[in-house]
A and B are shown apart, each in its own frame.
Chain A
Amino acid sequence: MSMTQDAPLLETAGLTRHFRIGGLFSQRKLHAVDDLDLAIRPREILAVVGESGSGKSTIARLLAKVYEPTAGQIRFRGRPVSSIRARRDLLAYRGAVPMVLQDPFASLNPVHTIGYVLERGLILHQPGLTAAEREAEAVRVLEAVGLSPARQVLAKYPHEMSGGQRQRIGFAQALSYKPSLVLADEPVSMLDVSIRIGVLNLMAQLCAEEGISFLYITHDIASARYVAHRILVMYAGRAVETGPTEAVLREPAHPYTRLLLSAVPDPRAPITLSAADTGEPPRVVDPGEGCRFRQRCPLAIARCAEVTPPLAELAAGHAAACHVTAPAG
């Protein structure tokens, strides 16, 4: 990677999270995330793309300190996140790296007004503000996410708002903490298609105008292309390809990325029919050595069952983990 780039805002090294499953004495482990190195720079939208069970939500929860890692490290502004112990420091971290959740219908308390919800967050994260300043700040963040007239919105209850508006409240809440990185876990997947674009545009605008970075978690690679500067493709708990969005889409190197791209429904594209891969989920419980995509891979060779392929760089910042298309060293 080039040295002129900004230092990463947040980076992980060997980040791993396993879950013990089965009965009391079971030794079986579900490998949700294995050995992940990622970096998010200031003013950058990084999309983490993968299917259900690929570990993408686990990444968001690890970064939000909802889960502790099994192994590996997370550094925020150069400082290990694991060293955060004091309540005040934890609060500051959660304010700097807030999370926006998937389901806007479940993530807002139905008995409180929007004004109350925003004020509570501000009391917690910006205790220096007076009541008047808090209200001004609440109005500012509502306007920033395109909800106006903001003063009327403050008095509303969640049920009086549509799904798209509720998701904007989620972003307004995150914004009120003056964040540097927002973890957005499938923020548009529960919204109607006509409303999704508005929320994606909002993310792009907050990144460009307020300089906020986003970790955008999605199963929809087309929406990732629409907003993200860089993309990270996950498969069965491992990063299989990463790079600048357009480079990855133009020249996908990993067979899984290629499969994913060929499966995206696109009304503007010509019809290409292929039903060969039925999309059976991979094995993530005690997966052992080797590439986890090998059973589905049309290019698999003997080595794929023996050695886990590392991410190997193909071009500036573009890397893939495949013995065949991106042989290491």
Chain B
Amino acid sequence: MSETILEVSDLVVEYTTSTEPARAVDHVSFSLARGEFLGIVGESGCGKSTMLFAIAQLLSPPAQLVSGSVIFKGRNMVELSGSALRALRWRDYSVVMQSAMNALNPVKTVAAQFEDAMRAHGQKDRAAIRARSREVMALVSIDAVHLRSFPHQLSGGMRQRVMIAMALLLSPDLIVMDEPTSALDVVAQRSLMVQIKELQRKLGFAIIFVTHDMSLVGHFSDRLAVMYAGKIVEMGPTRPLFAAPQHPYTRGLLDSFPSIHGPKVALSGIPGAPPDLTAMPSGCRFRPRCSAVMPRCAEIEPDLYPSGETRSRCLLFDRRAA
């Protein structure tokens, strides 16, 4: 049994609105082992990015952490002060955002930004800073001459690689990534994913990878969590989850990707649209779009039940009722 480095329990995040608060993350719990690659997939508005921000303690108003705990390496991040968090960031965990162009400082060279991050953590030796900067650039296969480049002089793929290099500077145990490849073309996307996976094998950090593209993360993650309307609806090891998805939403999601292999099959997608976060349907939140809906679904809010090799939030798997 490998060591748990992150334990998220009953996390609740709400957005303040002029009327009802919108609950974007609703009692999400999971744990992450050292060196594990966890993929979190869901459609826009399902709360996946908000959850990631809550874990990294980067929420800002109107988003508000209502309850729950995030135990990272034995400490509850929710209770840590700003300065304690700053000490952890980059050194123990780092964050790679969707848009590297917005995350990087446009008026500073890559080298200067690397230096800032290392100095903030007490590394004052210039030679050591230079050596480490070259090392992380080599890790992401970018020529060290680009340390002197400004972000706008790099291609989109290179900028994302620079962000990943920066996240690796202080060898953290956890890197959380929010759709880092979604602005890239398919070839660049594929190449970056392969590189992230190779780095993880080599350096052993854990990854939480948030994406809307289930097919992208499917080849790389150890475990997968599928989110819908603020809740995890299915969670389990990646391969079984792809081979035999149990929750009707996961099944619908997988049936929404046309394949380039095999015979051409007609797909139906999922009818309707995700619910408004301020007006959730009673019982199961997927009920209005579900193809396997039962009368009970309107009355009982389902829990996560064992379903084959995964766990699903669906009454089909509720043993007590059967």
| A-to-B contact residues, CB < 8 Å | 51-52, 162-165, 192-198, 200-201, 219-223, 225-226, 246, 249, 259-269, 271, 273-281
Out of B157, B259, B271, B274, which one reaches A268, CB within 8 Å?
B259
- A and B contact pairs by CB, cutoff 8 A, 28 listed: A51-B185, A165-B273, A193-B213, A194-B256, A195-B270, A197-B268, A201-B268, A201-B269, A222-B259, A222-B260, A225-B258, A263-B189, A263-B191, A264-B186, A265-B189, A266-B261, A267-B242, A268-B242, A268-B259, A268-B262, A271-B219, A275-B194, A275-B195, A278-B187, A278-B191, A279-B188, A279-B191, A280-B157
**Least CB separation from A51: chain B residue:** B185
Q: Which residue of A lies closest to B184 (CB)?
A: A279
Chain A residue, CB-CB nearest to B188: A279
The closest CB in chain B to the CB of A279 belongs to: B188
Closest to A193 in B: B256
Would you call the interface of chain B mostly helix, strand, loop, or mixed?
loop
Chain A CB count within 10 A is highest, among B43, B190, B191, B197, for: B190
B189:A279 contact, CB within 8 angstroms: yes
- Select which of B185, B197, B198 is within 8 A of A279 by beta carbon: B185
Q: Which residues of A contact B269 (CB under 8 A)?
A: 193-198, 201
CB distance from A72 to the nearest CB of B (A): 26
Q: Which residue of B lies closest to A195 (CB)?
A: B269
**The 7 nearest A-B residue pairs measured at CB:** A279-B188, A197-B269, A279-B187, A162-B273, A226-B258, A275-B194, A51-B185
Chain A residues, Cβ within 8 Å of B158: 280
Using A193-B214, A194-B256 as known contacts, list a sample of 14 further A-B pairs with CB atoms less than 8 Å apart, ordered by residue number in A: A51-B186, A192-B273, A193-B43, A193-B213, A196-B269, A262-B190, A263-B190, A265-B219, A266-B259, A267-B218, A275-B198, A278-B187, A279-B157, A280-B188
Chain B interfacial residues counted at CB < 8 A: 47
What distance in Å separates the Cβ of A201 from its nearest Cβ neighbour in chain B? 8
| Cross-interface CB contact of B155 among A197, A276, A280, cutoff 8 Å | A280
Give complex CA distance A220, B258 in Å: 10
B126 within 8 A of partner (CB): no
Q: For the complex, give the distance between the alpha carbons of A249 and B260 in Å.
A: 8
Measured between beta carbons, the chain A residues less than 8 angstroms from B261 are 266, 268-269
Q: CA–CA, A217 to B270, complex, Å?
A: 23
Instruction: Considering the complex, give the chain A residue whose CB is closest to the CB of B265.
Output: A226
The answer on a CB contact under 8 Å between A194 and B258 is no
The proximity string for B residues 91-132 relative to A, scoring 1 for CB distances below 8 Å and 0 otherwise, is 000000000000000000000000000000000000000000
CB neighbours (8 Å) of A266 from chain B are: 215, 257, 259-261
Q: Does B34 contact A (CB under 8 A)?
A: no
Interface string of B203-228 (1 = CB under 8 A from A): 00000000011111011000000000
Docked complex: B33-64 residues within 8 A CB-CB of A: 43-44
Asked if B264 lies at the interface with its beta carbon under 8 angstroms from chain A, I say yes
Q: Which residues of B contact A264 (CB under 8 A)?
A: 186, 260
CA distance A246 to B264 in the complex (A): 10
